[in-house]
A and B are shown apart, each in its own frame.
Chain A
Amino acid sequence: MDFILQVLIIIGIHSILTMSLNYVAGFTGLMSINHAAFYGMGAYATAILSTQYDWNFFLTIPVGIVIAGIVAWLVSFPMLKMKEDSFVLVSLGFAIIMFNIMQNWTDLTKGPLGIKGVQAPMLGDFSFFAKPLFLVLVIVAAALTYWFLNRILKTPYGTILKGARENETVARVNGHNVVSYQRSAFVVGAIFAAIAGAFIASFISFVNPKAFELIISVYLLIMIILGGMASLPGSILGAFIMLTSLEVLRFAGVSAEWQQILYGFILIVIMFFRPQGILGKYKI
């Protein structure tokens, strides 16, 4: 039971990540592979403030949000000058830079050793340390993420984001300042990634740079492509399938290398036979 709760919590946290990445990549068309960098910023904000300054988990979340939001806003200026393939490459560059900062700014992040002893969420004297309670908290956060993003996407604001994804020239000729919409989507995506980061830091009680390296962003992309591009339920489904299959494969004794090969294979098969993913509404 404890194991199942643990898997469900991880799926819940990844659902926040995949929904926010889908908002950026699936709905807005910005194929970002640096989502894990913002995830890391939220995680490190919580880890550092919790272990070094004894901050409450709930107070660390806004700090992670502000840091990720400001960094996303700043890097969006050079990134959004690039289009399509070039944008992917620039986001790759940013992911590499962020990973190296987490790895080498040892005074702040403790480098590859990571930070241990991140506190569980507390509300007064009430602790969410127990897994069922932590799961409830994660479900509430994931539900709020769904509600927030869905609310935007159901309005003309969401229509403009999709329009920018489909054809920037048409969106601009129709009167929309495409870059400002893309920037807002990128920042919102980064903010939710940071929230997911706060949860993972508190749940595992440990952060190190490896948890936020490039391959994590690639896995997140595979999850949304599998579950469905431009679909919030698809984002949750993709996280569920990928993470449960990971546990099943681990249980079956399949090595990490073979798991990676399998994920690569899944991505290739999806792109050939169902490019919009299982519940997706957008073909890449």
Chain B
Amino acid sequence: MKILNDLSFTIKEGSITGLIGPNGAGKSSFFNALFALFPSTGSIKLEDIELVGKTPNQVNHLGVCRTFQDSKLLPQMTVLENLMLSSKYSETVTLRRVFFDSKNLSEEQKNEQAQGIKLLRKVGLEKKAHILAGDLSYGQSKLIEILKLFMCDSKLILLDEPFSGLFPEMIKVITRLIYELVESGRTIIFVEHNMKLISEICDHVIVLDAGTKIAEGTFDHVRKIPAVIEAYLGD
């Protein structure tokens, strides 16, 4: 079964690209295909490196990180452990290092945890570092999902509806964090249904319908295209 069909686009480094379209258009499926969470054919290249055929952890190692539509924080682990899980550093900790390089490891671990605490302090959640992620509110979970992206050493970030279900104050905080991610050199693609946010945040917009790209350009450009109005925006 073809979910995404002949989907081809190029995104500019350091930009924020909005991926919009009606439900079932293939937006989240594109993210999942990119991360090898289901089999796909074709070609997705990141700086000339082919991503199709890679495993999810290999895609991550190539510098791609993502969030999911529903919060995927691990509820029986602490907030700090959730942050540490997305740290590139944790992958360097082998059993050999645990037992034969414990001094350096301990130092590095402290620094990495301090980095996690610093991020939590940025959003006023440092006191939540050692509580279970399952005890966080919905909004706080969404916020931690974004903080995890600062821990991962990424070039490209995929955000799947980062604002869904959030109240305006939290939307402002997350928007600020997204800008910070871009300022630190990351490129962002994000799926969102809130057109006001798309128009405010995105440099570029790609519109999907039934797994196919039907338009792309600035938000002001695509909103006037009849096919986009018919498939998604309406009157």
Contacts and interface: CB of A to CB of B under 8 A. Distances in A.
A283 interface: yes
A19 B112 CA distance: 28
Contacts of B72: 167, 169-170
B98 A152 contact: yes
A176 B57 contact: yes
Nearest to B90: A156
Given A160-B85, A166-B76, A172 B95 contact: no
A173 interface: yes
15 contacts: A155-B109, A156-B84, A156-B87, A156-B89, A157-B94, A159-B84, A160-B91, A167-B74, A169-B72, A173-B60, A174-B65, A174-B148, A176-B85, A178-B57, A282-B76
Q: Give the interface SS of chain A, mostly helix, strand, loop or mixed.
A: helix
Interface string A165-205: 01101111111111000001000000000000000000000
Contact of A163 (B37, B85, B152): B85
Interface of A: 151-152, 155-157, 159-160, 162-163, 166-167, 169-178, 184, 281-283
Contact of A159 (B57, B60, B90, B94): B90
B57 A155 contact: no
Contacts of B221: none
Nearest to B133: A166
Contact of A172 (B57, B77, B98, B152): B57
B105 A166 contact: no
B74 A163 contact: yes
A169 B59 CA distance: 13
Interface of B: 35, 37, 55-57, 60-61, 65-66, 72, 74-77, 81, 84-91, 93-95, 98-99, 102, 105, 109, 112, 148, 152
A157 B93 contact: yes
Given A162-B76, A163-B77, 4 more contacts: A155-B109, A157-B98, A159-B77, A184-B95
B91 to A, nearest CB: 6
Contacts of B84: 156, 159
Given A170-B72, A173-B56, A159 B37 contact: no
Given A157-B95, A157-B98, A159-B90, A175 B77 contact: no
B115 to A, nearest CB: 12
